Structure 1
């Protein structure tokens, strides 16, 4: 039971750190454009590469 003296304040501090981080991300605009981030992950920005030419075989 003595360990509860350390674990309860530690859990409260970690929860407070998480809450502060979440509030900071809200105020800095991290959740403004959720659809844009989703579409950027889907679209391929690089143009397709042409295959390298294959040298003819000598028989």
Structure 2
């Protein structure tokens, strides 16, 4: 087979990126931690609770 320097370099870059991504925490975990540590609320949950409270008050 003919050695392709560009292909070999590309494979090295891909392997390095895989190693780097494997060792770093996922972005989802950072986002989840940030949401859990802040005062962010789910608007839909708050709306549902509000509508249920209104329905109970009218009965």
Q: What's the TM-score once normalised by structure 1's chain length?
A: 0.39
Q: Which has the higher contact order (CA 8 A, sep 6+)?
A: 1
Q: What's the TM-score once normalised by structure 2's chain length?
A: 0.39
Q: Which has the larger radius of gyration?
A: 1
More helix by share: 2
